[in-house]
Amino acid sequence: MARPKQFDEDLAIDAAMRAFWTAGYEATSTQDLCEATGLGRSSVYNTFKSKRDLFEKALRRYMDDKNAPFLDLLGSGLPLREKVRELLWGVVESDERDPLGCLVVNSMVELAPRDEEVAAMLRRDHDLRFEALRTALETGRRLGETDKDPAELAHFLIAVIGGMRVAVRGGAGRSVLESIARNALDAL
Protein backbone atom coordinates (compact mmCIF):
# COMPACT_ATOMS: atom_id res chain seq x y z
CA MET A 1 0.00 0.00 0.00
CA ALA A 2 1.33 3.43 -0.94
CA ARG A 3 2.12 5.79 1.88
CA PRO A 4 0.12 9.04 1.97
CA LYS A 5 1.90 12.27 1.10
CA GLN A 6 3.37 13.92 4.16
CA PHE A 7 3.80 17.37 2.63
CA ASP A 8 1.84 20.26 1.18
CA GLU A 9 2.22 20.18 -2.61
CA ASP A 10 1.45 23.91 -2.90
CA LEU A 11 4.24 24.78 -0.47
CA ALA A 12 6.62 22.56 -2.44
CA ILE A 13 5.68 24.33 -5.68
CA ASP A 14 6.20 27.72 -4.03
CA ALA A 15 9.62 26.66 -2.75
CA ALA A 16 10.59 25.31 -6.17
CA MET A 17 9.36 28.52 -7.79
CA ARG A 18 11.72 30.53 -5.61
CA ALA A 19 14.61 28.18 -6.42
CA PHE A 20 14.03 28.48 -10.18
CA TRP A 21 13.50 32.24 -9.83
CA THR A 22 16.83 32.59 -8.04
CA ALA A 23 19.05 30.38 -10.20
CA GLY A 24 17.14 29.67 -13.41
CA TYR A 25 15.98 26.36 -14.80
CA GLU A 26 19.31 24.93 -15.97
CA ALA A 27 21.28 25.92 -12.88
CA THR A 28 18.69 24.52 -10.45
CA SER A 29 19.61 20.91 -9.78
CA THR A 30 17.35 18.21 -8.43
CA GLN A 31 19.36 18.43 -5.21
CA ASP A 32 18.63 22.18 -5.07
CA LEU A 33 14.92 21.38 -5.44
CA CYS A 34 15.12 18.78 -2.68
CA GLU A 35 16.79 21.30 -0.37
CA ALA A 36 14.35 24.08 -1.27
CA THR A 37 11.24 21.95 -0.84
CA GLY A 38 12.46 19.78 2.02
CA LEU A 39 11.50 16.70 -0.01
CA GLY A 40 13.54 13.68 -0.86
CA ARG A 41 14.43 12.94 -4.46
CA SER A 42 11.83 10.15 -4.69
CA SER A 43 9.08 12.44 -3.35
CA VAL A 44 9.97 15.10 -5.93
CA TYR A 45 9.83 12.60 -8.78
CA ASN A 46 6.80 10.68 -7.49
CA THR A 47 4.80 13.88 -7.11
CA PHE A 48 6.03 15.98 -10.02
CA LYS A 49 7.30 13.36 -12.52
CA SER A 50 10.31 15.45 -13.51
CA LYS A 51 12.22 18.65 -12.92
CA ARG A 52 10.54 19.97 -16.06
CA ASP A 53 7.04 19.20 -14.74
CA LEU A 54 7.84 20.94 -11.45
CA PHE A 55 9.25 23.93 -13.35
CA GLU A 56 6.08 24.30 -15.42
CA LYS A 57 3.94 24.18 -12.27
CA ALA A 58 6.23 26.72 -10.60
CA LEU A 59 6.14 29.04 -13.63
CA ARG A 60 2.33 28.84 -13.78
CA ARG A 61 2.17 29.61 -10.06
CA TYR A 62 4.46 32.61 -10.52
CA MET A 63 2.38 33.94 -13.42
CA ASP A 64 -0.89 33.46 -11.51
CA ASP A 65 0.52 35.12 -8.38
CA LYS A 66 1.90 38.11 -10.28
CA ASN A 67 -0.98 38.55 -12.72
CA ALA A 68 -3.79 38.64 -10.15
CA PRO A 69 -2.83 42.01 -8.62
CA PHE A 70 -1.78 43.34 -12.06
CA LEU A 71 -5.22 42.54 -13.51
CA ASP A 72 -7.03 43.84 -10.41
CA LEU A 73 -5.14 47.13 -10.60
CA LEU A 74 -5.79 47.60 -14.31
CA GLY A 75 -9.49 46.83 -13.84
CA SER A 76 -9.83 49.26 -10.95
CA GLY A 77 -11.43 52.70 -11.15
CA LEU A 78 -8.15 54.53 -10.52
CA PRO A 79 -7.05 57.16 -13.02
CA LEU A 80 -4.74 55.83 -15.73
CA ARG A 81 -1.66 57.65 -14.49
CA GLU A 82 -2.12 56.17 -11.01
CA LYS A 83 -2.53 52.66 -12.42
CA VAL A 84 0.68 52.96 -14.43
CA ARG A 85 2.50 54.58 -11.51
CA GLU A 86 1.56 51.64 -9.26
CA LEU A 87 2.75 49.15 -11.88
CA LEU A 88 6.11 50.88 -12.18
CA TRP A 89 6.57 51.47 -8.47
CA GLY A 90 5.76 47.81 -7.90
CA VAL A 91 9.15 47.13 -9.46
CA VAL A 92 10.89 49.98 -7.64
CA GLU A 93 9.55 48.71 -4.31
CA SER A 94 9.87 44.97 -4.92
CA ASP A 95 9.68 42.76 -1.86
CA GLU A 96 13.22 42.42 -0.52
CA ARG A 97 12.50 38.78 0.38
CA ASP A 98 11.87 37.91 -3.28
CA PRO A 99 14.66 36.78 -5.58
CA LEU A 100 15.92 39.48 -7.91
CA GLY A 101 14.35 40.00 -11.29
CA CYS A 102 11.35 38.19 -12.74
CA LEU A 103 10.87 34.47 -13.35
CA VAL A 104 8.93 35.21 -16.56
CA VAL A 105 11.65 37.46 -17.97
CA ASN A 106 14.38 35.08 -16.85
CA SER A 107 12.59 32.13 -18.47
CA MET A 108 11.99 34.10 -21.65
CA VAL A 109 15.70 34.68 -22.01
CA GLU A 110 16.89 31.26 -20.81
CA LEU A 111 14.33 28.84 -22.24
CA ALA A 112 11.93 30.37 -24.77
CA PRO A 113 14.39 30.45 -27.70
CA ARG A 114 14.79 26.66 -27.57
CA ASP A 115 11.71 25.35 -25.76
CA GLU A 116 8.45 25.76 -27.66
CA GLU A 117 6.24 24.66 -24.76
CA VAL A 118 7.70 27.23 -22.37
CA ALA A 119 7.66 29.83 -25.15
CA ALA A 120 3.94 29.16 -25.67
CA MET A 121 3.25 29.53 -21.93
CA LEU A 122 5.14 32.81 -21.90
CA ARG A 123 3.32 34.09 -25.02
CA ARG A 124 -0.06 33.37 -23.42
CA ASP A 125 1.06 35.19 -20.28
CA HIS A 126 2.31 38.15 -22.32
CA ASP A 127 -0.91 38.29 -24.33
CA LEU A 128 -3.00 38.32 -21.15
CA ARG A 129 -1.00 41.17 -19.62
CA PHE A 130 -0.81 43.06 -22.91
CA GLU A 131 -4.57 42.91 -23.48
CA ALA A 132 -5.37 44.03 -19.92
CA LEU A 133 -2.93 46.93 -20.23
CA ARG A 134 -4.13 47.88 -23.72
CA THR A 135 -7.75 47.88 -22.51
CA ALA A 136 -6.88 50.13 -19.55
CA LEU A 137 -4.96 52.47 -21.85
CA GLU A 138 -7.85 52.54 -24.33
CA THR A 139 -10.21 53.49 -21.52
CA GLY A 140 -7.76 56.18 -20.43
CA ARG A 141 -7.61 57.53 -23.97
CA ARG A 142 -11.41 57.68 -24.18
CA LEU A 143 -11.41 59.62 -20.89
CA GLY A 144 -8.78 62.05 -22.19
CA GLU A 145 -6.03 60.79 -19.87
CA THR A 146 -3.65 60.09 -22.77
CA ASP A 147 -3.58 60.72 -26.50
CA LYS A 148 -1.15 57.88 -27.24
CA ASP A 149 -1.96 54.71 -29.17
CA PRO A 150 -3.00 52.14 -26.53
CA ALA A 151 -1.32 49.15 -28.21
CA GLU A 152 1.96 50.97 -28.76
CA LEU A 153 1.95 52.27 -25.20
CA ALA A 154 1.12 48.81 -23.81
CA HIS A 155 4.10 47.30 -25.67
CA PHE A 156 6.31 50.10 -24.37
CA LEU A 157 5.21 49.71 -20.74
CA ILE A 158 5.61 45.93 -20.78
CA ALA A 159 9.12 46.39 -22.18
CA VAL A 160 9.95 49.03 -19.56
CA ILE A 161 8.72 46.86 -16.68
CA GLY A 162 10.65 43.85 -18.00
CA GLY A 163 13.73 46.01 -18.49
CA MET A 164 13.44 47.33 -14.94
CA ARG A 165 13.34 43.76 -13.63
CA VAL A 166 16.47 42.92 -15.63
CA ALA A 167 18.13 46.08 -14.28
CA VAL A 168 17.30 44.98 -10.71
CA ARG A 169 18.88 41.59 -11.35
CA GLY A 170 21.91 43.40 -12.73
CA GLY A 171 22.29 45.46 -9.56
CA ALA A 172 20.46 48.70 -10.36
CA GLY A 173 19.63 50.66 -7.24
CA ARG A 174 16.44 52.40 -6.25
CA SER A 175 17.42 55.79 -7.68
CA VAL A 176 18.00 54.27 -11.13
CA LEU A 177 14.66 52.44 -11.00
CA GLU A 178 12.83 55.58 -9.88
CA SER A 179 14.36 57.51 -12.77
CA ILE A 180 13.23 54.87 -15.26
CA ALA A 181 9.73 54.85 -13.74
CA ARG A 182 9.43 58.64 -13.84
CA ASN A 183 10.50 58.74 -17.48
CA ALA A 184 8.04 55.99 -18.38
CA LEU A 185 5.24 57.91 -16.65
CA ASP A 186 6.12 60.93 -18.78
CA ALA A 187 5.38 58.82 -21.85
CA LEU A 188 1.69 58.81 -21.01
Give the pLDDT of residue 5.
55
This prediction has a pTM of 0.91
- Tens of pLDDT, residue by residue over 45-54, are 888 989 999 9
Count CB atoms within 10 A of the CB of residue 11: 11
Give the pLDDT of residue 1.
43
Q: Which CATH superfamily is domain 9-186 in?
A: Tetracycline Repressor, domain 2 (1.10.357.10)
Q: Domains of the chain: which residue ranges?
A: 9-186
Burial class (CB in 10 A: 0-12, 13-18, 19+), 14: middle
- Tens of pLDDT, residue by residue over 130-165, are 999 999 999 999 999 999 999 999 999 999 999 999
Three-state secondary structure call for residue 154: helix
∠ Cα 180 183 186 (to 5°): 150
Give the pLDDT of residue 6.
62
Give the pLDDT of residue 8.
85
Q: Among 106, 97, 90, 66, which Cα is nearest to 181's?
A: 90
Tell me if 49 sits within 8 A of 131, measured CB to CB: no
Those residues whose C-beta lies under 8 Å from the C-beta of residue 148, and which sit 6 or more positions away, are 137, 141, 187, 188
Those residues whose C-beta lies under 8 Å from the C-beta of residue 157, and which sit 6 or more positions away, are 84, 87, 133, 184, 187
Mean pLDDT of the chain: 94
